[in-house]
Amino acid sequence: MRAVLIRHYKSLHTWTGIVAGLGLFIAFYGGALTVFKEPLTRWASPPAAQQTEGLQTLFDLETAPALIRRTLEAHPEVGEDFVLHLAPGIHRPSPLAWKRHAGAADEHDDLTPKHYFALPAADGYVEAKEGTVSKVGEFIDVLHRVVGLPFDNNLNRIPMGIIAMLYALALLSGLVIVLPSLARDFLALRLGKNLKRMWMDVHNVVGVASLPFHLLIAVTALGFAFHDGVYFLQERLIHGGEMRAAFAPRLPAADASTDLAPLIPPAKLVAQAKALSPTFEPERLHFVRLGSPRAMVRIWGHDPTAHSPRAPGGFLALNPHTGDVLTADYVPGRQSRTMSLVASLFALHFGAFGGAPIKWIYLFLGFAGAWLVYSGNVLWVESRRRKSSRGTGVEGPAQRRDVRMLAALTVGVCLGCVCGVSFSLGLSKWIFGWVDDLLFWHQAGYYAVFFGAIAWAFGRGAARASIDLLWAAAVLTLSLPITSLLGRAFPTTGFWGHASTVGVDVAAIMLAACFAWMAVATRRRALTGPKDSVWSLAPQVLLECPPDAAFEPAGASAEVSS
Amino acid sequence: MTRSTSSEFRSDWVSKTLAGVVLGFTLALALSGLYALAASGVHLSERSQLAMWATFPSWMVALAGGYACRSGARAWLLLGALNLAAWGLFFLLRLP
């Protein structure tokens, strides 16, 4: 009975993995990079430093009230929703920024709205300047959130939720498979002649070692996909219709008195947050519904001594006219036990705790997750391998059609995603100033490379394409630091390379070196490894062929890519 | 459940999957209601978030566990019975 059950769960593991694996690869690769979304965005954004002199005074909190007042005089609609950044950034010409949605806004869509900055004009007015802050970091994040689809909206979160369910099933069934032999096999790495055994051992050790991370990611991904529906049902079945009211108890009614006190200066708002939590480091003030009784400012920031409740940090919400605290539930390190527990789910998904070391660990865990699903597909392919049989004299029998297909699809999707992301990042510097709609080109560039790579993999076969595409990934990734270097050496190229984002360039060099090494290793394996494999470049012969056909010249009867 | 050696283990992928997705979800909702009752001292704005997140681990465990049933029909029966018990307990505890 036990053996039957384990075989049953093995099938479950295999097929959930195969169906969800390629989407998960994109989610992991994009998610790993999203940990560094902020530096990637800065890396990809042109310097906004035309007004470097005066930029410091512009970011001086003492001048903020005047900037806000003049902005609202010139553009009253901005009071509905704008941000005041406290620290200058190389990509920000002004501390005051807002965004405008073209159509109906989705709360999770930060990709399509246009961003504007308030620049002081000579005559005392404020000029709205469209921002050049790059969207490519956000685009990579969206790829990660909706497993490779271009926009994060309600519809696209359904496939994301289904993939997350398959992922959870793959994890739990994988656990059932390895549990009986865990003590014996966990650290048994049988490195050696039997390549499939070795891949299986490494797949198991990586899977078991990062299981807590994966369970956490799976549960939170399900929550991100389905929370609206679950809240809807729980409100009716469990909370008796009282939940919605419980969330906004301290906001006054919409028809409350509009006789408002003047806006409290940002410096005092920041001081109020610091008084509540001395270890909290405010970064920006997000004002909404200014000048109405329901006005609110969220003071966003990080606390190095605590975990962050959300990806961009935590916040204190105040009424900017009265200074009343609207909610302190999201101030990092000052949360109730329950809120701290809920916040830890977010922090553990985003790696939003523990500072830079945790971010690097999360990058590594994300890449490891991508490798885990990739190796799962490789194992599927290897388990269905047609062995050469000495008796017939056929050295490299042709592999099954579905096996060749899945091998090509795996190589195309995984390496297509890697190449596409690097290409899309590079575009931010290469075509800046030449095109109007940069976001469109980021997306078009990514998908062109992604689908091109898949087509290439099917056309050339998995073995050849994996070498080609690994080299392409190495070259495209290496082009990023080269572009930065060119920008620094020759500013006339129109490129740029910020000193503050050298870390991105260094990481890209290391990543490119990894891809190049993998290309070399893959080529060596294709040439000298076992010939009865989809990864071999040796000519393969259809087993169904009559025996004499097997002795025709190499490649005459069948190719890997046929 | 008694396990007689004569009855065969059936895969019943579709039936077990549907049972886990549908009844596993309603079971997880009932369990989240029981957590919410147990945490009734916590303010509703916080308790409701806890209950929302608590849904997913139980749903996935119920879904994955359903495949261990000997047939699809048994998965529906087992999860159905657990649903009745959990929802029954929830409404019973909420009565007063």
Q: Beta-strand (E) ranges in A430-524?
A: none
CA nearest A165: which of B32, B80, B21? B21
In this structure, what token pair is assigned to residue A124?
A: 């005392």
In the predicted model, what is the mean pLDDT of residues A397-403? 81
Please, which residues have CB within 8 angstroms of residue A454's CB and are 6 or more apart in sequence?
A: A408, A409, A412, A413, A416
Q: What is the pLDDT of residues A345-381, one digit of tens each?
A: 999 999 999 999 999 999 999 999 999 999 999 899 8
Residues of B with Cβ-Cβ distance to A242 under 8 angstroms: 44
The amino acid occupying position A502 is: V
In this complex, the residue of B21, B33, B68 whose CB is nearest that of residue A238 is: B33
Please, which residues have CB within 8 angstroms of residue A27's CB and are 6 or more apart in sequence?
A: A144, A145, A147, A148, A163, A221
A526 pLDDT higher than 80: yes
Confirm if B45 and B53 have CB atoms less than 8 A apart: no
Distance of CA A344 to the CA centre of its chain: 19
Give dist(CA A310, CA A307) in Å, integer: 9
User: Chain A: nearest CA to B73, how far in angstroms?
Assistant: 17
Q: Do A4 and B9 touch (CB under 8 A)?
A: yes
Give the three-state DSSP class for A242: coil
pLDDT band at A256 (very low <50, low <70, confident <90, very high): low
In the predicted model, what is the mean pLDDT of residues A529-556? 59
pLDDT band at A561 (very low <50, low <70, confident <90, very high): very low
Q: Which range, of A121-130, A253-262, B53-62, averages the lowest pLDDT? A: A253-262
Q: Name the helix (H) or strand (E) containing A98.
A: strand A96-100
Give dist(CA B3, CA A559) in Å, integer: 51
Give dist(CA A227, CA A433) in Å, integer: 40
Give dist(CA B37, CA B54) in Å, integer: 13
In this complex, the residue of A238, A249, A345 whose CB is nearest that of residue B36 is: A238
> Highest mean pLDDT range out of A75-89, A119-133, A363-377?
A363-377
Please tell me what DSSP assigns to residue A262.
P
Q: Do A9 and B33 touch (CB under 8 A)?
A: no
CA nearest A116: which of A135, A102, A103, A129? A129
Task: Collect the ranges in chain B with pLDDT lower than 50.
Answer: 1-6
Please, which residues have CB within 8 angstroms of residue A159's CB and are 6 or more apart in sequence?
A: A23, A146, A147, A149
- Is A187 in the B-facing interface, judged by CB distances under 8 Å? no
Q: How many CA atoms lie within 13 A of B37 on its CB side?
A: 18
Nearest CA in chain B to A345: B53
Torsion of CA A126, A132, A138, A139, to 10 degrees: 140
